[in-house]
Each structure stands twice: as C-alpha cells, then as structure tokens.
Amino acid sequence: MTTRELFFRHIAQTSPAPLALEIVRAEGLYLFDADGKKYLDAIGGISVCNTGHRHPAVLEAIHDQTERYLHILVYGEMIQSPQVAYAQLLATHLPASLQSVFFTNSGTEATEGAMKLAKRVTGRTEIVGFANSYHGSTQGALSLMGDEYWRNAFRPLLPGVSHLQYNHTEDLEKITEKTACVIAETVQAEHGVIKPSEEWMKALRAKCNETGALLVLDEIQTGFGRTGTLWGYEQYGVVPDVLLLGKALGGGLPLGAFIASKTLMDAFTENPVLGHISTFGGHPLSCAAGLAAMKVLLEEKLAMQVAEKEKLFRDQLVHPNIRSVRSAGLLIAVEFDNFETNKRIIDACLSSGLLTDWFLFARNCLRIAPALTVSLSEIVEICRLIKSKI
C-alpha cells in the first residue's frame, strides 16, 4: 500500500476531506511534496512557524539537546536547563506580574491549567468566555468554545461556563464576584481576525479588578510577534493575570504554557500538593527548540518588520470581489461572499502551489499567517496568486 492509502486507513481522520498533501521536506517558507511539487506556505502551520520551517538555529538547538537528554522525569521535579533558560528569557520580556511559567504540551492544556489555577486561587467556580472564541479542544477548553455547533455534540461540558459578546462593553456587567476568571483571545483569530477596541480591553481589565476575577489572555495565535509587538496585549495597555502561549512557543515542536505571578502559581504546590501535573509538559527538546526560535525572533527583530509587511499585504489585496481585509499584523483574513467562493479560491491556490486556509468561525474568510520571515517579494507573489484565482 502507498503511504497515502495507509494514511486513510490508519491515521484517525478529522474531516471527510483532509488536504492530504504528502510533505517530505519543509524549509523556510516552503513545503515540498512526494512528487517534488513546491508549495509557498502562507499559513506557517497556523501561526506556529514564526521563524520559518526548520530554522538552522532551531535545528542546531534540537541537535545539541539530543546529545544531552530527552525525557527524564515528570514536569517540575528535575532542574532542566532548557526549561529554566526559556522561562527566564520569557520572563525578561514579560512584566513583573508574569514571571512564573508552567510549561504544557499544547495550547489546550495551557487553557486547562489556567482554568484550574483560577478556580484554585479564587475559590470560585464560574468561568466566563466569549462568543466565537477558540481556546482548544479538550473538554474544559471546549466548554469555552464560543460556538454551539462545535461544542454541542460533546455535552455535558463544564458547568458554570458562560459566554459573553466579545467587544461589547455592556456584557461585561455579567462578570461578577462569583467569576473565577475571564478568558479572552487578545485578537479573535478563528472568528476571522476580530480586534477588540482598546476601550473594551481596558474596561474588561477594570471589571476583573473590580470583581476579583482573573483576566486570562489567550495569545496562543497572537504571541511571538505575530501582531507586530512581541505580545498582542501590549497594544491595548493592559496586562493579564494569566497569559496563555502555544503554537510558535515551541519553534515547531509541541509546547504550550500558562504564565502568572509566582504568588498565584504557588497555589498548585499545596492542598492538594501537585495541583497540576504533566508527564511531558515542557519537554527539554521542545524548550530547546522554542528558546532558539525566540532568540532568532528577537535577534532578527522580526516583530518590528511586521507592520511594513502587513501594509504591503493590505496594499496588494485589493480586488472588487474581496469584501474586506482584516489584519492584526501578519494574521490576516481576506473576506469573500461565502464559503463556496472562498473554498474555490483556496483549492485553486493549492493547485498553483500556494497553501492557505479558512477560519473555524469565519468560513468565508481566507487565512494568511505566514512565517514572520516572509520576504516582501514573497508577499507580492502570495497576493498575486490569490487575486489570480478570484
């Protein structure tokens, strides 16, 4: 049997029509399939590969770590230098209230950990999320999923979870002294790149302060320079109590994290002891890779180039059949009339060697989220290809 046939037979499928490209190599902005076809990757593994596929510095860090050790013991017991060095670098670039890092394996686990931490430190049980938000697919994170279609089949989910309208100030009144935490994306990615107003974000912060609810900001897609600043929240003049990271955090290897103050995080150490545990969380290989990727991001000042690249995309993405372009740095949604049009364009782009995608809650929008290393000429080429398929 071919690898393709085995894929359909033995790999659990998540949709009736997976892309099913058989990729044999990836480098920088490009993917190569088994037939030697080259694809320009305009979505970077969905906001994962911010420094491109297989950056040499990331490969070197992985190689070095394989010479030392892989898994040794469950998270938190041993002093593992890749974890420590990465947590220290993150802390250097975060405010004084976000200095304690709990590394997980994925974004959804970061969400789960933050929900538990909020319940533990506040002694409250209610959790507030938002319509059209996505925080992961495990049952706690799924309870926050802001769309009934995606969560309904898996009920019962967590009790005490409610959903407010994103960017609606009046709805913030529903946050009360029973609320353990409010979890929001800094920019709603899967809703098709919806940015809140600064006033709303500040009002959300103020309401959390007033009620004692923790503010958890999910930067799993918006972190690591994607929106033009290292963290998306910097553009809103607020600081969360808990920050969720994932995707680009691992430099291409699986890694997530929730980050809070040491005072909050210490709640996991007693009553019960081992309040949150993980076998593989903060795997040394993933931390070594992520640390190297973050150093590249900082050294090459990639976040500082995002505004210019975003502007070029916006200048190029002009066409009578494009209804709108929404962007938060290099997280871009190109809106068409309906899903059918969008899908036809996505498929045509793929045939011509350009990989794009749609959004979970904005199926009429085409996703562009390339590596931040994308060059100006590659941006022009991505836009030219898209426009040629409209």
Ligand X SMILES: Cc1ncc(COP(=O)(O)O)c(C=O)c1O
Which residues are at the interface with ligand X (CB under 6 A)? 46, 106-108, 111, 134-136, 185, 189, 218, 220-221, 246, 256
Q: Which is nearer to ligand X, 220 or 289 (CB)?
A: 220
The least CB distance from residue 363 to ligand X, in Å, is 16
Strands 256-260 and 242-245: antiparallel
Q: Which residue type does 333 have?
A: A
Q: Which is nearer to ligand X, 306 or 331 (CB)?
A: 331
Residues 6+ apart with CB under 8 A from 338: 364
Residues 6+ apart with CB under 8 A from 272: none
Distance CA 357, CA 189 (A): 13
Q: Which is nearer to ligand X, 99 or 221 (CB)?
A: 221
Q: Which residue type does 245 have?
A: L
Distance CA 118, CA 386 (A): 44
Dump strand ranges (E) for 219-360: 242-245, 256-260, 324-328, 331-335, 354-355, 357-359
Residues 6+ apart with CB under 8 A from 164: 128, 129, 130, 131, 171, 172, 174, 175
The least CB distance from residue 45 to ligand X, in Å, is 10
Provide the token pair at 144. Answer: 């926050």
With H, G, I as helix, E, B as strand and everything else as coil, classify residue 130. strand
Q: Which is nearer to ligand X, 166 or 383 (CB)?
A: 166
The least CB distance from residue 224 to ligand X, in Å, is 13
Contact criterion met (CB below 8 Å) for 325 and 335: yes
Q: Which is nearer to ligand X, 217 or 265 (CB)?
A: 217
Q: Which is nearer to ligand X, 110 or 383 (CB)?
A: 110
Q: Which is nearer to ligand X, 3 or 14 (CB)?
A: 14
Q: Which is nearer to ligand X, 244 or 345 (CB)?
A: 244
Distance CA 255, CA 105 (A): 4
The least CB distance from residue 290 to ligand X, in Å, is 13
The least CB distance from residue 5 to ligand X, in Å, is 27
The least CB distance from residue 377 to ligand X, in Å, is 29
The least CB distance from residue 334 to ligand X, in Å, is 18
**Triad 88, 136, 297: Cα angle to 5°:** 35
The least CB distance from residue 133 to ligand X, in Å, is 8
Distance CA 359, CA 194 (A): 12
Q: By Cβ distance, which residue is nearest to ligand X?
A: 107
